């Protein structure tokens, strides 16, 4: 059974995460600046817990990193036999465990939940990226609906260079954004993409001077909040399903959504 209890500040701090909620806006910060906000399994579990317990009043989620980096990605200690202090060692489990990998698949699925909820139609998620967004950090940014980059941002899909694959839900948005060929090039070279190129590849909605990053995100949040909540949710649902729909299917989805909106307006609901 899912834990529906709101995580405590101490629990989140132990996982390297901080959550601040002010009205309709939640800010999720990667909070291990001494490790360039490197993430562990506990980080991803904490992110999933935040998504499961986020108040319904929250409409906007801003994801950012403390210090000069968004996130340097996975904490490489996870690959050592000793693992990360206080967490199970997946490598030790594989070395010593049963050849049935179903438990490991379940663990990875639980980590992916820390990223999937950022696509929920009831919220708009914004990645506010400065410095490095590497590997899992890049995938976290890709999980967000919108990305605002400081001009010093650098993105990289590092996993293949480490002998791994990107498995935190990043491959689908990457391919949808830059196409198959460019996604292959970015992943298999594991090169760093600077902010201006990221904008050219549509990996960023906007690139700004680092000193303007927070203010730019604040302005974007204000603009998003100006749209009525139910209309925003219905529109995000439409846009999210559009790539997988035929034109006829999308036209039908638009009709259904608009009927719902018109009915709500007729009842005096928001528009």
Do residues 132 and 36 make contact, with C-beta atoms less than 8 angstroms apart?
Answer: yes
Q: Is the pLDDT higher at 105 or at 271?
A: 105
Which tens digit of pLDDT belongs to each residue from 202-213?
Answer: 999 999 999 999
135 by Cβ neighbours in 10 Å (0-12 / 13-18 / 19+) ranks as: buried
pLDDT at 104 over 70: yes
- Residue 3 pLDDT: 61
By C-alpha distance, which of 145, 131, 128, 136 is closest to 27?
Answer: 128
By C-alpha distance, which of 150, 140, 92, 82 is closest to 116?
Answer: 140
User: Can you say whether the dihedral through the CA atoms of 45, 97, 73, 138 is positive or negative?
Assistant: negative
Lowest mean pLDDT among 36-50, 96-110, 129-143: 96-110
E strand or H helix at 28: strand 25-30
| Alpha-helix runs per DSSP H in 125-211 | 136-143, 171-178, 180-189, 195-200
* Structure tokens given for 193: 């993409």
Phi, then psi, of 268 in degrees rounded to 5: 90, 15
Our CA angle for 153, 155, 158, nearest 5°, is: 145
Is the pTM higher than 0.85?
yes
CA dist 219 and 133 (Å) reads: 22
């Amino acid at each position: 059974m899912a834990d529906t209890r709101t995580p405590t500040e101490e629990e989140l701090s132990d996982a390297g995460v901080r959550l601040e909620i002010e009205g309709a806006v939640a800010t999720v910060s990667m909070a291990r600046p001494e490790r360039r906000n490197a993430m562990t399994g506990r980080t991803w579990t904490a992110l999933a817990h935040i998504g499961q317990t986020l108040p319904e009043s929250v409409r906007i989620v801003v994801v950012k990193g403390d210090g000069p980096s968004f996130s340097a990605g996975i904490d490489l200690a996870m690959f050592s036999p000793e693992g990360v202090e206080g967490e199970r060692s997946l490598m030790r489990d594989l070395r010593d465990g049963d050849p049935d990998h179903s438990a490991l698949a379940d663990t990875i699925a639980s980590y992916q939940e820390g990223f999937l909820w950022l696509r929920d139609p009831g919220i708009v998620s914004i990645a506010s990226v400065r410095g490095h967004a590497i590997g899992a950090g890049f995938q976290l940014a890709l999980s967000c609906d919108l990305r605002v980059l400081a001009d010093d941002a650098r993105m990289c899909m590092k996993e293949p260079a480490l002998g791994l694959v990107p498995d935190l839900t990043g491959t689908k948005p990457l391919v949808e954004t830059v196409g198959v060929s460019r996604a292959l090039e970015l992943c298999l070279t594991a090169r760093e993409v600077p902010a201006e190129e990221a904008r050219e590849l549509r990996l960023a909605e906007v690139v700004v001077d680092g000193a303007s990053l927070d203010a730019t995100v604040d302005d974007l949040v204000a603009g998003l909040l100006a749209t009525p909540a139910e209309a925003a949710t219905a529109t995000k649902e439409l846009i999210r399903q559009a790539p997988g729909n035929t034109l006829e299917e999308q036209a039908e989805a638009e009709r259904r959504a608009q009927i719902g909106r018109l009915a709500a307006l007729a009842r005096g609901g928001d528009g």
